Amino acid sequence: MSKALRLSEKWFHRGLWVVALVFAGFLIGLGGTIVGDLPKVEQRATVEDFMDRSAVARARQTVKDATRARLDAQQALPQAQLKLKIAQADSQSARETFNNWLATRRATERPEQDAELIERTTRLDALKAAERTALAAVEAQQQAALDASQTASRAESQLRDMERDAQDALHKAQRAQELRVFLYRLALTLPLLAAAGWLFAKKRKGTYWPFVWGFIFFALFAFFVELVPYLPSYGGYVRYIVGIAITALVGRYAILALNRYLERQKLAESLPDAQRREELSYDVALARLAKGVCPGCERPVDLKDVKNDFCPHCGIGLHDHCGHCQARKSAFSRFCHACGTAANAATPADA
């Protein structure tokens, strides 16, 4: 993965990155298909699974029966009330008739009417009794409605209690299930991640780098998209701690890489000019010059200044003169731009 400057090479590189991405995409698709085809290790539980089914059915039946009984009683109540009203009216009018008759009888004082008095009193008593019976029927319906609604509310609160207990059990089971799913996924993802880490460390610059990077993308996708969301939270503790651990690992790698780079750079800057020039790849040197930095130490240098023949920071030669025509040229170019003589044909007399 050197910094390519040739146009075709640049485009080949871009194409190979596309190959890496496409390769990663197909790997991700294949992984998803495999996971999808695996036997489902877990099934979704519901609240009902954690309730005593027969007890629930009994309680629900009780609620249903009581509700129907209450409705029946409420429908029967107006009928009973109407009958009571009629019985009260009958009794009332009979009493008035009787009182009138009694007044007449007192006035006439006829003893042969005693039998009729007894008969009328009996009839009046019967009407009074009918009135009481009708009242009792009304009270019975009211009582039935009250009983039914109390039974229903008792059964409902029993159901609610059962549901609350089941909800707790369900939450516990779901947490355990989340953990199991996470561990399954971890068992699948961890080897991928380890392989990706090894490939990154050893093979990322090899000939087959697009496939290596494709695999690394695939492993990262598996880790961050298919594993991290299933990380059990435990109130955020696990996520934050894992985040801190990953950041620490990445940070440590970056710090060590920076230190290694600085050490390498320091060592390179202490070498003689010719040797440094040999160790620098031609394309890297040109890319750095194009960015206006010294190819040796990567610090900014003013290349347009015609007096600037050496890097003021590390001392590497930036410009020299052609051995053939003495034209001032970049010390990194392979041929003289003025006469075409190969640069190494001339001994760097003024380097």
Q: By the criterion CB under 5 A, which residues form the site for Zn ion?
A: 294, 296-297, 311, 313-314, 322, 324-325, 327, 336, 338-339, 341
Residue 166 or 322 having the CB closest to Zn ion:
322
- Minimum CB separation of residue 324 from Zn ion in Å reads 5
The whole-angstrom separation of Cα 339 and Cα 328 is 11
Query: Would you say 66 or 336 has its CB closer to Zn ion?
Result: 336
Nearest CA to 350 out of 269, 247, 263, 273 is that of 273
Query: What residues contact 262, with CB distance under 8 A and at least 6 apart?
Result: none
Rank residues 102 and 327 by Cβ distance to Zn ion and give the closer one.
Answer: 327
CA distance 194 to 182: 17
Q: Please report how close the Cβ of residue 36 comes to Zn ion at its closest, in angstroms.
A: 56
Contact 170, 45 (CB under 8 A): yes
CB 297 → Zn ion: shortest distance, Å?
A: 3
65-76 CB burial, b ≥16 within 10 A, e <16: ebbebbeebeeb
Q: How far is the CB of 310 from Zn ion (least distance, A)?
A: 8
Min dist. Cβ of residue 10 to Zn ion (A): 26
Whose Cβ is closer to Zn ion: residue 18's or residue 338's?
338
Identity of the residue, 27 or 285, whose beta carbon is nearer to Zn ion in the bound complex: 285
Supply the DSSP string of 272-309, one letter for each residue. -HHHHHHHS-HHHHHHHHHTTB-TTT--B--TT-TT--
Number of residues written out for the chain: 351
The nearest distance, CB 323 to Zn ion, in angstroms, is: 7
- 26: its two tokens: 């197909």
Q: What is the largest CA-CA distance in the chain?
A: 171
Nearer to Zn ion, 110 or 299 (CB): 299
Q: Which is nearer to Zn ion, 249 or 327 (CB)?
A: 327
Q: Strand, coil or helix: what is 337?
A: coil
Between 24 and 316, name the residue whose CB sits nearer to Zn ion.
316
Check: CB of residue 323 under 8 Å from CB of residue 347: yes
Backbone dihedral region of 342: left (phi > 0), alpha (psi from -120 to 50 degrees) or beta? Answer: beta
Could you tell me the smallest distance in angstroms from the CB atom of residue 258 to Zn ion? 18
Name the minimum Å distance from CB 289 to Zn ion: 11
Residue with tokens 């230190």: 259
Return d(Cα 266, Cα 314) in angstroms, integer.
Answer: 10
Given a contact cutoff of 8 angstroms between Cβ atoms, the answer to whether 179 and 216 are in contact is no
H or E stretch at 174: helix 114-202
Tell the smallest beta-carbon distance from residue 303 to Zn ion (Å): 12
Q: Which is nearer to Zn ion, 166 or 297 (CB)?
A: 297
